[in-house]
């Protein structure tokens, strides 16, 4: 499990995906993880994988995901596929990551990495 300090440094590392476009969204059938396929101009595609409450990471290898999406992954696909990541921040030095993405509307994806963990999509 990540600490708040781990989240601080991870947030710094994730700054490299600012301006990335979320091209596809995948999920694991058991609902344990969400995978974002990212495209950054003139760079190879990356995969941003979130396993709440334990960890999140970037990789250049596509993980084995399921064909069938979880209901939440379907909602994410509907609202933020092709959105651009405009900001990434840690909230109040907690184990909370906030990604701001913009398509026709701005959305905030909140990732809580404590207790049971949550991924929350906000439109305000």
What residue segments make up the domains of the chain, in order of their start? Answer: 4-122
| Domain 4-122, classified CATH 2.30.310.10, yes or no | yes
Give the pLDDT band (50/70/90) at residue 95.
Answer: very high
C-alpha distance from residue 55 to each of 40, 106, 124 (Å): 23, 25, 25
pLDDT tens, residue by residue, 16-70: 999 999 999 999 878 889 999 999 999 999 999 999 999 999 999 999 888 899 9
For 64-88, what is the mean pLDDT? 95
Say if CB 65 and CB 47 are below 8 A apart.
no
Tokens describing residue 89: 């921040």
Share of the chain above pLDDT 90, in %: 90
- The confidence score (pLDDT) of residue 91 equals 98
What is the pTM assigned to this prediction?
0.93
What SS3 state is found at 51?
A: strand
């Amino acid at each position: 499990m990540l600490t708040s300090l781990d989240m601080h440094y991870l947030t710094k590392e994730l700054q490299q995906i600012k301006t990335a476009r979320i091209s596809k969204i995948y999920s694991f059938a058991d609902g344990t993880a969400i995978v974002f396929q990212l495209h950054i101009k003139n760079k190879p595609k990356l995969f941003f994988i979130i396993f709440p409450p334990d960890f999140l990471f970037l990789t250049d290898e596509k993980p084995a995901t399921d064909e069938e999406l979880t209901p939440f992954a379907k909602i994410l696909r509907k609202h933020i596929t092709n959105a651009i990541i405009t900001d990434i921040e840690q909230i109040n030095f907690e184990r909370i990551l906030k990604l701001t993405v913009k398509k026709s509307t701005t959305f905030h994806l909140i990732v809580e990495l404590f207790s049971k963990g949550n991924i929350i999509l906000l439109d305000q």
